[in-house]
Amino acid sequence: MNFKFVANVVVSITLASAMGCASSYKPLDPASLSYTRSFEIPDTLRVSYLYKTQAMTGNKRYDKRERKYGMASVAVKIENLTDTTIELTRNNFGVSTSSGNKTIYTPAVYSKKVKQWAAIHLLHTLWGPWAVSWQEDENGETDVNFIFIPIGAIVGIGNAVKASKANDVNLANQERYKIWDKKIAAGSALYGLIAIPSTTQNDTLSFRYNSASRSSYEQLSNKSYVLPKGPDSRSHDFYVLMNDGTPISIQAKIDVANDEYFITDNSHQPPLVIRPSDTKSLSRLAKNGRQLLGTPYENAWLFNVIDGPIAGYYYLAEEGTQVISHVQKDAGPLVPFSPDVLEAMIGEDTDLMKLFRKQKFVEAIKAYNSKYK
């Protein structure tokens, strides 16, 4: 028997180069960085901030994906200039640029966007050397066999594991340094990471803080309250305003998977999946001509489904819903809905409390708005 390697060099090099190698992740430590820019809320907070932290720490793969998706992980140093302890929440602290307020993404939303594609490295199994064997029988006929040796599989599996581990470390790093519900003692500083939309990674940032820290409604909000089943998501003509200002009109319905909401534009090939973190807003016109406007909120859009002194919000753009997820009174803080919160908002009005006790919460809100508009 004769045996010989026939290396598919061109194919192997082409595939290996196209897919590249997975990169490891070097954790960010905001306290170890030198800050060059700051914004001060007089006698309250001084916020120093730094862009391009992924690149500075050597996480070039994640920095590249940040820029691709118009995002930035910004390191912050938040100093308490008051003589009392401050607690930061999504309702009392925010960030903006000259173009308006900026969404601060959750660690899960940000990490999902910038993660390395682990599975793609399994395509390395397609490359490797070939071997050919041939044997001549007594009649002079030659039997030829080709053998593919998948050396690339070893490389592919190793890179897939490496990429997946790096993604997990990135998410854990973002979770560790998130700023919400953290207390800053008087004269102390909090170091953290905030992920925001940014196409330039150089915008001048302004910060705001509501000195009322946590409203009475926030304190009453019961995070363990489970919302009843809401309306089904239906297909509508939506108007999407992307983060870069691009408008898109599509017919779609809002879907949810793994607690993350999204819509799909099937006019693209492959279909374009649009998530809250990709947009400034998502809206549609209701049958009565009213605009149902949804703005990004964590991993969803919140649509203003009830107008009035007490505004009601829900994750779907369905008018007439009898379920709401968030409420806001008199343009105050937006808080998760719970019966305790609503009871505090409507007060001791006898007529409204009758509806409340029957758990007709949406009717109670509408009755309040009609009575106290």
CA dist list (Å): 172 to 9, 25, 166, 178: 40, 11, 10, 10
Confidence grade of residue 15 (pLDDT, cut at 50, 70, 90) = very low
CA dist list (Å): 27 to 54, 160, 169, 176, 323: 9, 19, 7, 10, 41
Cβ distance 363 to 354 under 8 Å?
A: no
CATH number of 14-117+163-213: 2.60.40
Percent of residues, the chain, with pLDDT higher than 90: 40
Rounded Cα distance, 178 and 197, in Å = 16
Mean predicted confidence (pLDDT) in 144-157: 60
Supply φ then ψ for residue 82, to 5 degrees.
Answer: -95, 180
Cβ distance 335 to 217 under 8 Å?
A: yes
Rounded Cα distance, 93 and 333, in Å = 11
Q: What is the mean pLDDT of the chain?
A: 82
Beta pairing, strands 272-274 & 86-88? unpaired
Rounded Cα distance, 98 and 58, in Å = 30
Token pair belonging to 79: 């100093």
DSSP-based three-state secondary structure for 299: coil
Sign of the Cα pseudo-torsion (362, 365, 371, 373, in order): negative
Return all residues near 300 (Cβ < 8 A) that are at least 6 apart: 256, 260, 261, 276, 315
Confidence grade of residue 215 (pLDDT, cut at 50, 70, 90) = low
Q: What is the pLDDT of residue 259?
A: 82
Q: Which residues pair with 3 in a beta bridge?
A: 133
CA dist list (Å): 228 to 114, 286, 321: 33, 23, 11
Confidence grade of residue 343 (pLDDT, cut at 50, 70, 90) = confident
Mean predicted confidence (pLDDT) in 320-343: 87
Domain positions in the chain are 14-117+163-213, 217-372
DSSP-based three-state secondary structure for 279: strand
User: What one-character-per-residue DSSP string does 183-199 give?
Assistant: EE-TT-EEEEEEEEE-S
Measured at the CA of 135, the angle between CA 132 and CA 137, to 5 degrees, comes to 160
Is the entire prediction scored with pTM above 0.85?
no
Mean predicted confidence (pLDDT) in 279-295: 90
Render pLDDT for 216-268 as a digit per residue (tens, 0 to 9). 566 666 566 777 788 888 999 999 999 888 999 999 999 998 888 999 998 88
Question: Tokens 């954790």, residue?
Answer: 27
**pLDDT of 123 higher than 70:** no
Return all residues near 68 (Cβ < 8 A) that are at least 6 apart: none
Cβ distance 294 to 281 under 8 Å?
A: yes
